[in-house]
Amino acid sequence: MDYFKTAPNFMWGVATAANQVEGGWDEDGKGMSIADCMRYRPKIDTNDYQAVNQMDSHEIELALTDHSTKGWAKRHGVDFYHRYREDIKLLAATGINTYRFSISWARIFPNGDDAQPNQAGLDYYLAVVQELKKYNITPIVTLSHYEMPLNLVLNYDAWFDPQVIGYFNKFAQTVIDYLHDDVKYWIPINEIDSIIRHPFSSAGLVADRFQGQNFEAVIYQAMHHQFLAAAKVVQYCHQRYADLQVGSMITRTMVYPYNSDPQNVLAATETMRDVYAFSDIQVRGRYPQYLLTTLKRKGIPLTISAEDRALLQQNTADFVAFSYYSSICTAADSTGLKVTKANRTAGVYNRYLPESEWGWQIDPVGLRLSLIDLYDRYQKPLFIVENGLGATDTLTADHHVHDQYRIDYLRQHIQQLLISMAEDGIELMGYCMWGPTDMISASSNQMSKRYGLVYVDLDDAGNGTYSRYRKDSYYWYQQLLSYGHQIP
Ligand code: BGP
């Protein structure tokens, strides 16, 4: 099946986030960001995402005084900061034409509220973009992927403070002005819905700083500020540079009812709405009534001015980007049922699906269902900007990694997107697998949860040479792209 003849401009690529790959956390004027505080905890249950992603002021204080590279995994990343030429060259040889990466906000505005940007930071990202251009690779830039200068947490209360909208937009506009000649696709905020599930690591909200306040209400108000900031990015791009496109970006976890019991179907619908609310606001330009009703029922007062409403209404996203890794089931009453997690969303185990080592259930058809569902809902171009398998890989003595499990995962998911493009009448701009090289895991801060096509010699304690070795999946992806997109 050669479906790709119908999609000559399809974007095939890979995706990363600055804080998971770069390292160089204190180099060339970079300030400290929330990601630099996310501590690797070797003894923690890898499924205990709550604990990993929760942060209190004491932890932040610890982070500020502990400068060891072992203690705080994301500070050393996989050294993309120094090795970007080598990594891009390696990946270019697979035949990719797209590379999604994020900008470290604290590399551009070290404290978030600085009067002037850090020129070295801007130059670094320009160099990355130029390197991609050398290979005719189209960049897709995420402005905020689980990052924020730490100063905005300690002195402004992060996204809860409306001033931070202004600081973010100053950062966004500075970067857009600098890179717009070569970067046409922008994502203001990665997985914008994740503020609800992990408010610190995605949005810098530290619960103990809001004592005496309803923390849930704090999160929702901060969420609203993120929407305003993202809409301002759309406004800026559209007014200033007509050829730029800005996407909404959500965590798309497929949700099924545990069985046909209507109460479980209802539970699944409600869980889906929790995420749809985010793309609804960014794509349709208004708060859905179901979210407003829920907030009212919870007694959460949201401050939304008429001006805010107009901003959201007039500046909707051009495309709908999403990550897809896994699916879950929901049950109105999960007593006695096996629980599972899918990309930090808790649910009930689906007996029809296998699971990864980290308990994320593998569901390629769920990707097709997601494409159908999102396209039917919005009628906007879709973009799969993350999809991949986290696994423990073994490097053989002769430097090979036989990751057939990852090839199987990618093949099955790509098959489904090809079928969907051919048979479901959807519009799909591209597919970025996560990720080009191994990198520090977002949720567990582990190195040993590997996603890459290229193995990086580094362990959980920060030991290793950082050498890169192509895995079997690298050669498979290369074959896929060189075969005119038929599936090997
Ligand atoms: C997504 C994040 C990524 C990435 C991926 C895999 O939600 O946008 O940053 O890391 O999940 O998750 P993890 O690294 O926790 O396995």
Specify the pLDDT at position 69.
60
Specify the pLDDT at position 57.
85
The CATH number of domain 3-482 is 3.90.1660.10:
no
Q: Ligand 1 centroid to 252 CA: how many Å?
A: 12
Sign of the Cα torsion 443, 114, 31, 77 reads positive
Mean pLDDT score of the chain? 93
- Kindly state if the Cβ of 53 falls inside 6 Å of ligand 1: no
Long-range contacts of 168-172 (CB under 8 A, 24+ apart): 168/105, 168/143, 168/144, 168/229, 169/229, 169/232, 169/233, 169/236, 170/109, 171/105, 171/108, 171/109, 171/112, 171/117, 171/143, 172/143, 172/229, 172/232, 172/233, 172/236
Q: Which residues of 90-113 are buried (b: 16+ CB within 10 A; e: fewer)?
A: bbbebbbbbbbbbbbbbbbbbbbb
Nearest CA to ligand 1 atom 4: 442
Q: Of 357, 380, 373, whose CA–CA distance to 324 is shortest?
A: 373
The 3-class secondary structure across 98-125, one letter per residue, is EEEEECCHHHHCCCCCCCCCCHHHHHHH
List of residues 6+ apart from 432 with CB closer than 8 A: 11, 13, 14, 15, 98, 99, 100, 140, 383, 384, 385, 386, 387
pLDDT band at 485 (very low <50, low <70, confident <90, very high): low
Report the greatest alpha carbon distance in the chain: 64
Q: Is the pLDDT of residue 47 over 50?
A: no
Q: Ligand 1 centroid to 476 CA: how many Å?
A: 22
Q: pLDDT of 281-309, one tens digit each?
A: 999 999 999 999 999 999 999 989 999 99
Whether residue 185 contacts residue 320, with contact meaning beta carbons closer than 8 Å, is answered with no
CA gap 39, 445 in Å, rounded:
7
Rounded to 5°, angle at Cα 289 from 285 and 146: 55
- Kindly state if the Cβ of 468 falls inside 6 Å of ligand 1: no
Specify the pLDDT at position 345.
81
Whether residue 350 contacts residue 356, with contact meaning beta carbons closer than 8 Å, is answered with no
Angle at which helices 163-179 and 215-240 cross, to 10° = 30
Catalytic residues: 191, 386
Query: Domains of the chain: which residue ranges?
Result: 3-482
Stated as kind and residue range, the H or E segment containing 226 is helix 215-240
Q: Of 20, 42, 22, whose CA–CA distance to 30 is shortest?
A: 22
346 three-class SS: strand
Nearest CA to ligand 1 atom 7: 343
Q: How many CA atoms lie within 13 A of 257 on its CB side?
A: 12
Specify the pLDDT at position 311.
98
CA gap 124, 237 in Å, rounded:
22
The conformation of residue 33, written as its DSSP 8-state character, comes to: B
- Report the pLDDT averaged over residues 42-52: 47
- Kindly state if the Cβ of 202 falls inside 6 Å of ligand 1: no
Q: Position of tokens 């993120």?
A: 226
Sheet holding 345-348, edge to edge: 254-257, 327-330, 345-348, 339-342
Q: What is the pTM of this model?
A: 0.96
Whether residue 139 contacts residue 129, with contact meaning beta carbons closer than 8 Å, is answered with yes
- Kindly state if the Cβ of 449 falls inside 6 Å of ligand 1: yes
Bridge partners (DSSP) listed for residue 355: 361
ipTM score = 0.99
Angle at which helices 262-279 and 289-298 cross, to 10° = 110
Stated as kind and residue range, the H or E segment containing 327 is strand 327-330
Q: Ligand 1 centroid to 211 CA: how many Å?
A: 30
Q: Give the phi and the psi of residue 429 in degrees, each rounded to 5.
A: -80, -35
Q: What is the position in ligand 1's atom list of the atom closest to the CA of 190? A: 8
- Kindly state if the Cβ of 187 falls inside 6 Å of ligand 1: no
The conformation of residue 360, written as its DSSP 8-state character, comes to: P
Q: Give the phi and the psi of residue 53 in degrees, each rounded to 5.
A: -95, -5
- Report the pLDDT averaged over residues 150-155: 96
Q: pLDDT of 80-127, one tens digit each?
A: 999 999 999 999 999 999 999 999 999 999 999 999 999 999 999 999
Q: What is the position in ligand 1's atom list of the atom closest to the CA of 444? A: 15
Q: Hey, which of 78, 251, 275, 441 would you mutate to test ligand 1's pocket, going by the most ligand atoms within 8 Å of its Cβ?
A: 441
Q: Of 325, 286, 318, 321, whose CA–CA distance to 304 is shortest?
A: 286
pLDDT band at 41 (very low <50, low <70, confident <90, very high): low
Supply 183's token pair.
Answer: 């970067």
Q: Position of tokens 């179901």?
A: 290
- Kindly state if the Cβ of 264 falls inside 6 Å of ligand 1: no
Q: Ligand 1 centroid to 443 CA: how many Å?
A: 6
Supply 434's token pair.
Answer: 């996560």
Nearest CA to ligand 1 atom 10: 442
**CA distances (Å), origin 16, targets 92, 99, 101, 146, 390:** 15, 8, 5, 12, 14
- Report the pLDDT averaged over residues 410-421: 95
Q: Of 18, 34, 30, whose CA–CA distance to 209 is shortest?
A: 34
Specify the pLDDT at position 26.
93
The 3-class secondary structure across 148-201, one letter per residue, is CEHHHHHCCCHHHCCHHHHHHHHHHHHHHHHHCCCCCEEEEECCCCHHHHCHHH
Q: What is the CA radius of gyration of the chain?
A: 21
Q: Of 269, 254, 407, 259, whose CA–CA distance to 342 is shortest?
A: 254
Q: Ligand 1 centroid to 129 CA: how many Å?
A: 23
Q: Ligand 1 centroid to 441 CA: how many Å?
A: 6
- Kindly state if the Cβ of 438 falls inside 6 Å of ligand 1: no
Specify the pLDDT at position 49.
47
- Kindly state if the Cβ of 226 falls inside 6 Å of ligand 1: no
List of residues 6+ apart from 192 with CB closer than 8 A: 223, 226, 227, 230, 248, 249, 250, 278, 282
222 three-class SS: helix
Q: Is the pLDDT of residue 462 over 50?
A: yes
Between these two residues, 314 and 44, which has the higher pLDDT value?
Answer: 314
Q: Give the phi and the psi of residue 471 in degrees, each rounded to 5.
A: -90, 170
- Report the pLDDT averaged over residues 311-340: 96
Q: Is the pLDDT of residue 44 over 50?
A: no
